[in-house]
Every structure is written in C-alpha cells, then in structure tokens.
Chains A and B, each alone.
Chain A
Amino acid sequence: MDPTARNRWIAANILPLEAQARRWLAQHVRSLLPSDIDDLVQEAYFRIWSAADLATIRAPASYFYAVLRNLLLQRSRHAKVVPMERMGEIDELSIPSEEPGLERKLSGRQELESLSRLIDALPEQCRRVFELRKVQGMSQREVATALGISERTVEKHLGKAITRIMDARRSEADGAVRQNVASTRTDGTRNQRD
C-alpha cells in the first residue's frame, strides 16, 4: 500500500475508533494517567502504520486494541515503577470481541455530516482559512494573499482547525459510546462484553 492508501486506511479504520479505545483503556486500567493514554495511542498509530500489510487486517478494532494492550505490557515490563494494581489490570484487560466500528462504517454519510458541522463550529476566521485551503483547494500562500494575512497566520489557523477537529471527534465519539453503554445497562440482563 502506498502512503496515500495507508493514510486513507488509517483514516477510515482507526481514527473513528480512537475515542472508544481511549475510553476502553481509561475504564479498565484505572491507574493510567491521560498523558499515558496519549503516549500509548500515538505509539499505536506508529505500530499500525508500520504494519507490513494493512490490507490483511480483517478486524481493525481488535487489531488496534491488541496493539494497545501489547504496548501497555511492554511499557510496564520496562518501567522502573509500576503502580501495584497495573499488572493485574492488564491481565484482565480483554479485547472486545465485537467490532465497535461496524455501525459507524455503515453511516458514512452521517459521519461526513457531523464532521461538516465541526467545521461550521470553528471560529469565523479559522473556518474561512480552512475552507479556502481545503474546500477551495488553494495553497497556504494563496489563502494568505486572498485574506490579506501572513502565511504564518494561515498556518496557525489551520493548526487550530486540525486540533479542534481531532479533539471534537474524540469527545463526540465518546458521547456515542456512553449512550451505547447506557442502553446496554437499561437492558439489564446483558453485559456489554461477553
């Protein structure tokens, strides 16, 4: 797979799972700090990107979770100080057998619409810069000329747009997971995991 295809694969299969994976880690390994989770997730992206053949990965969710679990194990083995309960938590950490991404994949259009709303919610000038660069296909320099601002400022606005979108996607998916958990609980009889 060439780099563009790899990006697309990661964008389609891993990005939408990130929020759920973060929650999974936070819920089951309570001794992890938010910064530990950032570290694990970033390193997991690197591992997945470097995987020899992305196309053979049939269940991206399970794969992503397995990579995270392995990284957690490795880190704990190498760390000088490991919180006491950590090893036990990792041992009990099992990888959800269902594929949480499935439902999401089916509603590609909804996902597009929600991303589109995130762009609408950007601060005015930030959104304008983003749209000129990404929707109208101008270069950063052309955007700077069109709006009469410096290229440096264009870069700053784009940086803000990317950060906001990445953060918002994480917390939005977070909400969706919470809803799922809630609805499984009202069911009463079933655990969310088998």
Chain B
Amino acid sequence: MEETLKIIVLVKHVPDAQFDRHLTGEGNTTDRSESILSELDEYALEAALQLIEARGGEAAGHRVIALSMGPAGAVNAVKKSLQIGASEGVHLSDDALAGSDAAATSLALAAAIRHLGADTPADLIITGMASTDGETSLVPAQLAERLNLPQVTFASALELDGGKLSARRDGDTHADTVEAALPALVSVTDQINDPRYPNFKGIMAAKKKTITTLSLADIGVDPAQVGRSGSWTAVETAEPRPARTAGTIITDEGDAGIKLVEFLAAQKLL
C-alpha cells in the first residue's frame, strides 16, 4: 500500500503560441515577454490532482507540488498551478539559468527535485509531454537518467495501485502497457485527461498557498554548470522563416475538383 503521496509536477512558463514568437539576443534564446503556463503541463497537473483526489486529497495528507524553473515571470506558471489545485509551489529562479539547454535544465531541475525530497523523497515526478516552446521532449528522459528513476513517458492512461504504476504508451505501430515501481518519473500526453480550469474558489484558495523561491545556491548547483555557458549545445544562427502568404483562393462553382487537379499538374505534383 502507498501511504501519503508526494507528487512534484513540472510546469514551464512558455511564450503564448497565439502571438508571434521570437528568438532574441546573442544566444538566440526565446523571448518570454508574452508567456503562460505551458498548456501541455496542465495535463500533468490534472493527472497528479486526479491521483491524489482518488485517495482523499490533501485532507488525507497527499500533496502536489508545482515546480517551475525560469525567470521572474515564471512565478505566474506556479500561481496558475496553485489556482488549478496544486498544494504548494516552488519557483527555481536564478540569473545564471538563462539560456539553459535541455542538459542544463535537467541538471538544475534534478537538483531542485532532490532538494525538495531531502526529508521525504517524492513518489512521483510528473511532466508534460513536451514544452510548447522547446518541443524537444528531452527533459523528462534526462531527468529519469539523472535521478535514476524508472521512466514512464508519453503516458496516455495512468493507474497507481499499491506502489505500482501502470501506464499506456501509444507508438506509431503499437501500443504498450508499461509498469514500474514508485518512485518514478512520468510524462503524460494530451490524450490522458481533460484539464480543469481554475474556478473562483481555487483562485481565492491559491492566495493562501505557499510559493518557495529557490536559487542555485539553495539547491547546491554551481552556476557554471547551467545557463548558456553550462549548456552542451549552442544555437549559432536563427533566421525567421518568411511567413507563408496566401496564394490563389477560388470559390467552388461546380468544377473546383478539376481546378485542383489542374493546379497539381501545373506544380508537377501528379
């Protein structure tokens, strides 16, 4: 039997994809001025909340901790997570972190997770399937490697029973059932659930919840290991791709299918 669950959910503050997004500065890093909680991390938060609610929630001693690493604005991703229902929030923030690639990000997040587990180690780390800016899906696998935890990634269904985790993972040619013992690292897809929105009660309750700010010194990470200098990859050049422009638009007058084929033939696509 599992006793009280301690779940850390990783939430990232990312540029809102509804606006134009930019790479800026010497290191071609992402401009974070118009940012939000990554919508893919809402599925991770929802999965964590469902796991603890099925076991009596916070009243039964279960906890969901939302952890975000990022500049000052990233605290907004933590606040939103608290409004949605996380029990407490942690913001890892340090100027030296700017420009971290996946390797440096996973190094810092792994240290933060160890720090948060110093007294009671977390049973589960849950992440989104990808960040909507980096889109690499490298961080969850790298965290599993660094923390030496079973990796249960791209879960589209998740069950927990007596300290044993079972998940469904869909591939292109097959679907797998994956099992692991706790503690484990899980990433979830957007197929797993329908994330809830913060309601008025949640927004009011969030005001009373704690947000802890951690620096690199707090988690024992040397600033030289992270940021642009500590990263193992460097973006040398970044060119905006010319925006696609609309071509010919016609309205069907009974022969658009034939016009379509004529277009394909003219483009040598038949």
Binding partners A and B: no
Chain A residues with CB under 8 Å of chain B are none
Chain B residues with CB under 8 Å of chain A are none
